[in-house]
Structure 1
């Protein structure tokens, strides 16, 4: 296990090396791969050419924690993100579709492996060009407050579209996929893609931030108790948000007929994020005439991603997602 100080030193060293290439390196612990034989991605895109707007008064230090006790599995989490960026997974043969992936972490941190790189590698092996988003966290003092991750997600979709030709993708075939609190980022983007979350910074910002499809997976969604995930709610909105503030940041209350077709997956035995989050979002989307594909599984718990779904019926969810995406002309 590498301690936090080593993680910080490794991350800084990689950032300095990457600065010579003009982009910030992926969050890492040291220079090597944490799992033997599994290469680390190295291509990144910084979202904000002049730095992220509304920085907190005290500069943040990006820290990566390794939480895994299994040498065959990495389980890293990063916080103190001041340079939001996309980590790119290129397929050998692009199929023209792209996915913006927003990992979870309860808005406390952003999970790197099980809800980021693993699904990025899996989709890239099937022709998708994937972009894992390391977004800023709302509890770390950014001026945008609860909209800070949304502004990064909006900007990310626009940057992907602006660079579509570079990656062999079609600008009208961009999906958003998010997990847990990253599912909130995904659903927030799908319902509030047109909100003015930041001031335009370059030509990319004239492009639409609306994803063509959205897939919030076991999402944090409602900000109302008892359905809300308490930790995410507090970090996003504070300890005692008003009903108006809860509604403003609950995708179920922000759905419109323009919300993109949506794919939902949840386990009914999820002990962390109630399945009511997906059910309430489904009902709200259907009420607005939005096409919704919903898959509920008896067993799966929370945070299953790919690794914890193995050997259970819920392991079918990625294939179900791809099959549904084809009906929406992606993949």
Structure 2
């Protein structure tokens, strides 16, 4: 697989309520999502202790989640599953999760191609958990293992599990894709005996590096804190962990992104190339940050580019 470099268009270019009711009898019910099933990630309380009170989650009018005491997976099943599964993490600087804007449209799009989609509602580091920045990574790792463990239930090939992340969710999924040996929690059941390797990662306007001069993001504040050492910033940066065993990456971003500097995807692309990891990067001239599944101004619809990439890499059968 080759790295794509172009200019103009691109330059280097059950229900939620049931899940909470089962674990937290007095929890406030979250709204149900049509043709989807939501279940908790952990059989009991998630690791880490403390966290927000059990009345959550809080869901804004735009479908942004916060105050997450029970992390969940919501599965969207296509009418004709093709065996591929993708776990989706929406962004929000690890301060909230933009599920309605990013994750749900992505799940619908994946279903249209026969891909089984899983929306991850992960815990947020600044909501009182005792283990600092680890909770979202514990939840993402648990999600990968559960999808593999229950693959037969959803007609999934466990060797065709990929990740998709937006903004801070791109950072979360980038870290998980590049760190399959990172053990963030003690095993709780048989599912946790499964490996964390995934087959590919698709990241949209991701935060990649927390190192200067790109250390002014909300993601940086949420994970590294206000006065981290250079070693801590390096430890929270995705490019630190890219090796020749990393899976293929598909990256998209806009050149006028003022939240995650376009250097983020360039840094990840260079790290992949240095280790001979297949990487495709599209950089649109305009689009800003947080365009979700929409088409950046003047650009080719990026979902079309992503579908072609999936087909060319045999994660999706050509129609």
- TM-score where L is the length of structure 2: 0.88
Please, which runs of 5 or more residues in structure 1 have no aligned partner? 1-13, 33-38, 68-74
TM superposition shift of 1:225: 2.7
C-alpha spacing 1:41/1:233, structure 2 compared with 1 (3 Å): farther
| Count of aligned positions | 301
| CA offsets 1:85-119 (integer angstroms, 9 cap, x no match) | 11111000001100000000111111111211011
> Which of structures 1 and 2 has the larger relative contact order (alpha carbons within 8 angstroms, sep 6+)?
2
Is the counterpart of residue 62 in structure 1 residue 53 in structure 2? no
- Matching residue within 125, 128, 139 for 1:138: 125
Is the counterpart of residue 89 in structure 1 residue 76 in structure 2? yes
Conservation of the 8 A alpha-carbon contact between 1:90 and 1:130: yes
The residue number in structure 1 matching 2:308 is: 323
- Matching residue within 153, 160, 165 for 1:173: 160
CA RMSD of aligned residues (A): 2.3
CA distance in 2, matches of 1:319, 1:217: 14
C-alpha spacing 1:207/1:300, structure 2 compared with 1 (3 Å): same
TM superposition shift of 1:187: 0.6
| CA offsets 1:31-51 (integer angstroms, 9 cap, x no match) | 57xxxxxx6354012111122
CA distance in 2, matches of 1:327, 1:24: 45
Conservation of the 8 A alpha-carbon contact between 1:263 and 1:292: yes
CA distance in 2, matches of 1:16, 1:217: 29
TM superposition shift of 1:318: 1.4
List structure 1 runs of 4+ shifted beyond 4 angstroms: 14-20, 22-25, 27-32
- Matching residue within 206, 217, 226 for 1:230: 217
The residue number in structure 2 matching 1:198 is: 185
| CA offsets 1:12-60 (integer angstroms, 9 cap, x no match) | xx8665567x5789x998757xxxxxx6354012111122011226635
Within-5 A mapping of 1:1-331:
17-18=18-19, 22=22, 31=31, 40-56=34-50, 59=53, 61-67=55-61, 75-307=62-294, 309=295, 312-314=297-299, 316-331=301-316
Conservation of the 8 A alpha-carbon contact between 1:228 and 1:273: no
Please, which runs of 5 or more residues in structure 2 have no aligned partner? 1-14
